[in-house]
Structure 1
């Protein structure tokens, strides 16, 4: 399959803004942005999915050293278009620290659409599990719900097409594979845990959209815990995080949205009850499933739906880097 390299460079100007030269600045001062961070290399593999009926991109970052004898630990991430660059930078930084303790940073594999092919409607279809009926509220944009229920087909593609491709191309540790997702992707992480608990070795769900067909989300976790055939040799690591401010308007909402839009958006956030739903699911797992699931649950202070993601990315990297004791 064709492979291309893409380099992502972060300049001082992109982080802090450009300081314009003037007569008050000494001649030896730089007149252009200075490169502040090392360049990270992202490998792009284009893979045709027969199950999805379209080409997909697998965006890969790997540590710049030989793989350990057992291969690299791996984090697989949904929403590759918006996750790969941050994940690559965080993993590179964590790798420098981990080297002191002889720990390797994980490889990052992000599933992404082809350039220009990403759409919210496609994402809604791919990241929602099938159900006979859907219990959904009116959207804040007042548009009709798009087609739903393609999540299990998407997971089939991940398991039978994407993961085997990566395993054939890279030295990976098949016993240290983590699935990461945010929002609808976070909900899909928990759906994967509930329906395919052996698919990955650890699961990280950031701000999971548990409001989506809420009874189904909770019932499938209850069924997993109660299933006598689900008897892992050691509890499966599951990290769930949510921003403490996710049920409120952000400062940008209040500054930029017209008042009627603010009302609809706030109503939507209150109905979705992101924090309460996450707490309720965490309490269920802690009460009934602690022998099978090693839960790490956090409500992130002063954090909203968007800022919870990068915080949890770094935590996921640390978790993936840390070896687990043999049972």
Structure 2
């Protein structure tokens, strides 16, 4: 299996991303392949692609279909830049106490990052690869999971499925709890999968608190608490479950 990549400079974010991709060797479906967009692509594209490749050999048993994987990666400034791209704009920001003493990073670029994906990256992916536009998924972990959840809530029609792993629901004084109770749409059929590791402490508490609000918005949701897993190990241990959530 080979992962290829190309550079893409966005006019919306004024940033050059590394776009990595995996194309199945399987025969192309008439409607095109499903596609999964993976945030923090430099960390997770290979893992996602390998999970898809291995399990799609027997879709009837695994419920994982051959799919294109598109990773969206940052450069060497990833730690700072992802903080900007993945966080929603707000009039004010409140940092948690555990961040005291840290250098405050720039934040609030999520709308521009969304425009980059929707208006620039997706058309380029459609031009290059045989995708099924009706079967597009967004996958994110941690702050990427926060962006995935925020996208599901505020730009619901952009994807057919949302996979939010260990979403940082704590960001900006838990503002997503306010957003989900005040956002105009009352119901959606767009599925949302959430997962957290059992040993993630406050993130488990936040996810459990959020679930009833999500269930008021959609009947197609799932929260999986992975036994014995932490903030890092939850990614590989929940990836197969997340993929099954898409294709079941």
Quickly name the TM-score band, shorter chain normalised: over 0.9
Residue in structure 1 matched with residue 212 of structure 2 by the alignment: 283
Residue in structure 2 matched with residue 87 of structure 1 by the alignment: 48
For 2:244 and 2:231, locate their aligned partners in 1 and report how far apart those are by CA, in whole Å.
21
For 2:105 and 2:62, locate their aligned partners in 1 and report how far apart those are by CA, in whole Å.
48
22, 25, 34: which one aligns with 1:73 = 34
Unaligned runs of 5+ in 2: none
SS in 2 for 1:304: coil
- Structure 1 length-normalised TM: 0.71
For 1:67 and 1:303, locate their aligned partners in 2 and report how far apart those are by CA, in whole Å.
36
Residues 118 and 95 (structure 1), Cα distance of their counterparts in 2 relative to 1, 3 Å cut: farther
Q: How does 1:1-327 map to 2 (within 5 A)?
A: 40-98=1-59, 104-114=65-75, 117-139=76-98, 142-224=101-183, 227=185, 232=188, 235-247=189-201, 273-286=202-215, 288-289=216-217, 292-322=218-248
Q: Which deviations, in whole Å up to 9, do the C-alpha atoms of 1:21-55 show, x marking residues without a partner?
A: xxxxxxxxxxxxxxxxxxx1112122221112122
Residue 109 of structure 1 deviates from its aligned partner by 0.5
For 1:81 and 1:138, locate their aligned partners in 2 and report how far apart those are by CA, in whole Å.
29
Unaligned runs of 5+ in 1: 1-39, 248-272, 323-327
Residue in structure 2 matched with residue 25 of structure 1 by the alignment: none
For 1:213 and 1:101, locate their aligned partners in 2 and report how far apart those are by CA, in whole Å.
38
Q: Which deviations, in whole Å up to 9, do the C-alpha atoms of 1:154-195 show, x marking residues without a partner?
A: 111111111111011111111111100000000000110111
For 2:247 and 2:77, locate their aligned partners in 1 and report how far apart those are by CA, in whole Å.
31
For 2:85 and 2:226, locate their aligned partners in 1 and report how far apart those are by CA, in whole Å.
27
Residues 293 and 167 (structure 1), Cα distance of their counterparts in 2 relative to 1, 3 Å cut: farther
For 1:100 and 1:130, locate their aligned partners in 2 and report how far apart those are by CA, in whole Å.
43
Residue 103 of structure 1 deviates from its aligned partner by 6.6
Question: For the Cα contact (< 8 Å) 1:106–1:321, is it kept in 2?
Answer: no
For 1:314 and 1:280, locate their aligned partners in 2 and report how far apart those are by CA, in whole Å.
24
- Structure 2 length-normalised TM: 0.93
Residue in structure 2 matched with residue 3 of structure 1 by the alignment: none
Question: Which structure shows the higher helix fraction?
Answer: 2
Question: For the Cα contact (< 8 Å) 2:55–2:62, is it kept in 1?
Answer: no
Residue 219 of structure 1 deviates from its aligned partner by 1.9
CA RMSD of aligned residues (A): 2.0
Question: For the Cα contact (< 8 Å) 1:76–1:178, is it kept in 2?
Answer: yes
SS in 1 for 2:157: coil
Give aligned pairs, total.
248
Residues 195 and 100 (structure 1), Cα distance of their counterparts in 2 relative to 1, 3 Å cut: closer
Question: For the Cα contact (< 8 Å) 2:63–2:244, is it kept in 1?
Answer: no
SS in 1 for 2:224: strand
Residue 84 of structure 1 deviates from its aligned partner by 1.0
Q: Which deviations, in whole Å up to 9, do the C-alpha atoms of 1:184-241 show, x marking residues without a partner?
A: 00000011011100010110000000010244211222234x525xx54xx2111001
Residues 118 and 315 (structure 1), Cα distance of their counterparts in 2 relative to 1, 3 Å cut: farther
Residue 293 of structure 1 deviates from its aligned partner by 4.4
